[in-house]
Amino acid sequence: MRMTSGSPAPGGGCDYKNGTLPPCAPLAAGYVPMQEKNPETYDKEKALARGTLFPGLDLPFKNVTNKSNPYAGTPLGELMALQFMMKEMQLFLDTHPDDTVVFSALQNVIELYETGARTYARLYGPLSLKDMQYADKYTWTNDPWPWEYREKEGQN
């Protein structure tokens, strides 16, 4: 049954699953939880799988979450998790610029990422065009592409 504007859902209530909202639908009120300084954090692998570095913001839509990351345990998966942490910390620092603990952690993660990205580019090839600055020759178009490596615990 498709509900049209003005028609109540079966049973008389408002039901979002039946189509357009009826006149009894309330106005939305957005809410963003405010984080405290130096909040708890997930480890990088769990953060990437959960979609947030901060457990206090872990509010999955309809309680659906990623169960695993196909790149977990691989060199590319490590870089993906570090890059995700950097973005999450940047967003946190946009609203908490005086949090020196998180800023220091961000600096450490950036250093880990840069070191890991240089090592990855040397072993497997460039992740981005800027990795050409560390290359001996132009290899940007060579196969395999970074996402094609599925090496996990020494196996391809």
- The residue with greater pLDDT, 43 or 144, is 43
User: Which carries the bigger pLDDT value, residue 36 or residue 110?
Assistant: 110
Name 155's bridge partners: 152
Rounded to the nearest angstrom, the gap between the alpha carbon of residue 1 and the centroid of all alpha carbons in its chain is: 37
Looking at the DSSP assignment, which residues form a beta bridge with residue 152?
155
User: Of all residues in the chain, what percent carry a pLDDT higher than 70?
Assistant: 69
Rounded Cα distance, 71 and 55, in Å: 22
pLDDT of 108 strictly over 90: yes
Residue 73 CB-half CA count within 13 A: 10
Question: What are 101's two structure tokens?
Answer: 């603990």
Q: What is the DSSP letter of 129?
A: G
Mean pLDDT is highest, among 15-24, 28-37, 92-101, for 92-101
User: pLDDT at position 4, please?
Assistant: 47
pLDDT top residue among 136 and 86: 86
**What is the Cα–Cα distance from 155 to 74, expressed in whole angstroms?**
10
Name the percent of the chain in helix, strand, coil, to the closest 5.
45, 5, 50
Query: Global pTM?
Result: 0.66
